[in-house]
Structure 1
Amino acid sequence: MLARWVCAEEREERAVVLDAEVAIVGAGAAGLSLAHRLSETVPGARAPSVVLVDAPPGPLRPPRRTWCFWEPVMGRFDAAVTASWRHLRVRPPSGPAAEDDIAPLRYKMIRSDDFEGLVARDLAGSPVVRRLEATVETVEDVPGGALVRLRDPGGRTRALRTRWVFDSRPPGSLPAARTTLLQHFHGWFVRTERPVFDPGTADLMDFRTPQPATGLSFGYVLPLGRHEALVEYTEFSPHPLTAAGYASALRQYTRDVLRLGELRILSQETGIIPMTDAPMPRQVGASVFRIGAAGGATRPSTGYTFAGIQRQTSAVAAALRRGRTPVPPPAHSARSRAMDAVLLRALGSGRADGPALFSRLFARLPMRLLLRFLDGRTRLHEDLTVGLHTPVGPMLRSALELRTLPRRPFDGP
């Protein structure tokens, strides 16, 4: 028995292909962002060795997608930005649209292929970051660090010993919550025969869409030129649509609402983002952490994730360089999460009319204030100002109800 145990230990040691101080599991937005920050040379700071583990081509890799966020004119990833806008518009179900200039901010779009290309070029010249293509099977704490068991594209089992692991893969299931909605969407990159788009203005929310029984729906238009745009149909609701349902909704929106005329679909994207008041665990072992959407970087009330990822990975990189325990910080403040929980409950219960609520906010408050609010960068008195422009009765009832609601597992897709 002892001999078999010793042989097993020796086989495991021979199976270790890499040792590193940091292992990053997953090369989506969060994994690439953290690797990119750790690849930088910071004067006076020690750079940890990093292995970035990316899944082989196939279903475990994240699909191509578009990320949007707002920040001042100059940004870290501007070389990968497809387009940006300083003029935003929100269209209510009827009546005039709310429009505003958000300067000095810019609303930016990055396509995942361009982001991955930019980061890959920078990582290629890094002496501290190595990339590994493999399927991660388990991640576990071991004395002094963690062990990542993986399988390479040839089917061979390997193991990676590391001090810290940052896992950015989507969790297998969502934690129990009082309210969970899904932000699910389907988008077309289109080219029209007529010059129908205004390249200087992005439609953030267009509520001239049929509304679901629970939650809300809206259109989303990001022009790339006079003839080209990303046009999406989005719902906040408990369940996603079928492929035919999304296609029907987009045909109706592009034909009957936007009146785009003849168009050609250049490419498509689909996504589902959980909007939940569940606490997302950021530390799941002594040396194992979650980052990105899996680590709570998504803003529960909006689904925006990219900016939260940048705040989270910046803090992790700084902690690693200082030799501190690199627990990812919350991407959003406790006050922001509490307000989001109230909004989600009001929308999920049907007490609040979503299109009316958002239309009123954008019509009565400066968009710069609302964007800072959505980024968690407002002060208490500004949060109160935003709150007073929501339907106070339904929001207050939802807030009081939250104290008594049990957290339940999400029976989702």
Structure 2
Amino acid sequence: MGGGLAGLQLAHAFCTDGSFSSKSIAIIEPRELNTNDKRWSYWEKGIGKWDHLVSSKWPCGRFVSQYGDLKLKMGGYIYKSVQSIDFYNHLTDFLKDFPNVKFINDKVTEVNTDIYTIDTDSSSFKADYIFDSRPSSQFGRSVASGTSNLIHQHFKGWVIKTEAAVFNTDEFTMMDFTAKFKDTCSFIYILPYSKNEALIEMTFFTPKINFDGEYDELLKMYISKTLKVDFFEIIEVEKGDIPMTDFPFQNYNKEHYLKIGTGGGWVKGSTGYSFKRAEKFVEQIIRNLKQGRPLDSNLYKSRFMWYDKIFLRVLKNYNHLGEKVFFKLYSRNPHTLIFKFLDEETNPGEELKILGSLFSLQFIKSIFKN
């Protein structure tokens, strides 16, 4: 298995469950997990499994658009953020205490799912089970042919420090569309860490990535005109691209071979969120192994995959309407229901209410195209 978010969570689960103590676990990862290369944010109620790693959290949120400014009524949900370096350090330190776990700094070159062998640049291994975080080679071809939809969630953010006390530390900004780039679904995302320090991130949901200078230009404009801050220091820069897709990752799983992480469809197609979703997937995999069921049993929920497909097709064909779509979502539904829906924990009646709130000609066309 790989040593990223999904692989480390899965290895942690194997080691904390006594049922797998006799199994040898190899974590094959070409990268050194020693940099703070990202932050994972998520919502959840109550005390969570990773609360000891949470660097910041917010009980309230905002949604801002030309159609209205909404306060998110969290209803007990807390928005939490974990720095990747804290996660990497904690998990690797934890796993090093288990003699049956071995970290291998190498690159996987080939996996044979007929005889369950893994070849790397420098060695070969045989396994009872393989958990593979690499994307399928079919992914790019499927998107290029139009068989699968892909929306890039691409972003650039600055952690800035200001002289004045500017930020409300009790409230994060989920989306602020007042800074959007013309004819795109784009917005500012804000995580305030203190009254004078925050992550300000310019985020796009677009079918293609053909932006560069726009990130900095929009960030500067937002900080100056909306936040009314003239003097600030950039203390950290974050940039990334998260694939939001309906590619059928589950079709490439086998009896003892499972695609995990981004390469296994663990990123939610309609949101790009993965941290909490990975935790749930790992728990289900452990249950499946202990009960003798297929590795991916109950991981993928077909109706939620269908909802994601509709949403992605709308964003692909009507990207300029993204702001209106999200405003309908957040203005016409209880915010706790939205979080529950995006966590795939709603019942069909609740889902019908959500879909009804988004009803439009564009959604009808996308449903029939599916």
Q: What secondary structure, in the 3-state scheme, does the structure 2 residue paired with 1:357 have?
A: helix
Q: C-alpha separation between the residues in 2 aligned to 1:276 and 1:212? A: 23
Instruction: Kindly indicate whether the alpha-carbon contact (under 8 Å) linking 1:296 and 1:330 is maintained by their aligned counterparts in 2.
Output: no
| Structure with bigger gyration radius | 1
Paired AA for residue 199 in structure 1: T
Q: Does 1:291 align with 2:252?
A: no
TM-score by length of 2: 0.91
Identity of aligned residues (%): 27
Over residues 161-187 of structure 1, what are the superposed CA-to-partner deviations in whole Å (9 max), with x where a residue is unaligned? 111110113445433434322111111
Q: What secondary structure, in the 3-state scheme, does the structure 2 residue paired with 1:356 have?
A: helix
Map of 1:51 onto structure 2 = 26
Q: What secondary structure, in the 3-state scheme, does the structure 1 residue paired with 2:56 have?
A: strand
Instruction: Kindly indicate whether the alpha-carbon contact (under 8 Å) linking 1:89 and 1:203 is maintained by their aligned counterparts in 2.
Output: yes
Q: 1:326 to 1:50 in 2, by over 3 A?
A: farther
Instruction: Kindly indicate whether the alpha-carbon contact (under 8 Å) linking 1:301 and 1:344 is maintained by their aligned counterparts in 2.
Output: yes
Comparing 49-58 with 117-126, greater Cα deviation is found at: 49-58
Paired AA for residue 87 in structure 1: C
Q: C-alpha separation between the residues in 2 aligned to 1:202 and 1:149? A: 45
> What is the CA distance between 1:192 and its match in structure 2?
1.0
TM-score by length of 1: 0.82
Map of 1:167 onto structure 2 = 132
Q: C-alpha separation between the residues in 2 aligned to 1:211 and 1:331? A: 36
Q: 1:380 to 1:303 in 2, by over 3 A?
A: same
> What is the CA distance between 1:115 and its match in structure 2?
0.8
> What is the CA distance between 1:358 and its match in structure 2?
0.9
**Residue from 300, 307, 328 that aligns with 1:339:** 307
Q: C-alpha separation between the residues in 1 aligned to 2:250 and 2:218? A: 35
Q: C-alpha separation between the residues in 2 aligned to 1:337 and 1:401? A: 15
**Residue from 375, 380, 383 that aligns with 2:348:** 380
- The structure richer in helix per residue is 2
Map of 2:153 onto structure 1 = 183
Q: C-alpha separation between the residues in 2 aligned to 1:54 and 1:161? A: 16
**Number of equivalenced pairs:** 364
Comparing 373-382 with 97-106, greater Cα deviation is found at: 97-106
> What is the CA distance between 1:244 and its match in structure 2?
2.4
**Residue from 72, 81, 91 that aligns with 2:54:** 81
**Residue from 149, 156, 175 that aligns with 1:205:** 175
Q: C-alpha separation between the residues in 2 aligned to 1:120 and 1:373? A: 33
> What is the CA distance between 1:260 and its match in structure 2?
2.9
Paired AA for residue 397 in structure 1: K
Paired AA for residue 227 in structure 1: N
Q: C-alpha separation between the residues in 2 aligned to 1:232 and 1:332? A: 30
Q: What secondary structure, in the 3-state scheme, does the structure 2 residue paired with 1:99 have?
A: strand
Q: Does 1:359 align with 2:327?
A: yes
> What is the CA distance between 1:366 and its match in structure 2?
1.7
Q: C-alpha separation between the residues in 2 aligned to 1:338 and 1:142? A: 31
Q: 1:193 to 1:94 in 2, by over 3 A?
A: farther
Unpaired runs of 5+ residues, structure 1, are 1-23, 152-156, 403-413
Over residues 298-350 of structure 1, what are the superposed CA-to-partner deviations in whole Å (9 max), with x where a residue is unaligned? 1111111112211111122233344x255234645211111121122222211
Pairing of 1:109-148 with structure 2 (within 5 A): 109-143=81-115, 146-148=116-118
Pairing of 1:25-104 with structure 2 (within 5 A): 26-42=2-18, 45-47=19-21, 48-57=23-32, 64-95=37-68, 97-104=69-76
Over aligned residues, Cα RMSD in angstroms? 2.2
> What is the CA distance between 1:206 and its match in structure 2?
0.6
Map of 1:267 onto structure 2 = 236
Q: What secondary structure, in the 3-state scheme, does the structure 2 residue paired with 1:265 have?
A: strand
> What is the CA distance between 1:55 and its match in structure 2?
1.0
Unpaired runs of 5+ residues, structure 2, are none
Paired AA for residue 299 in structure 1: K
Runs of 4+ in structure 1 deviating by more than 6 angstroms, as ranges, are none
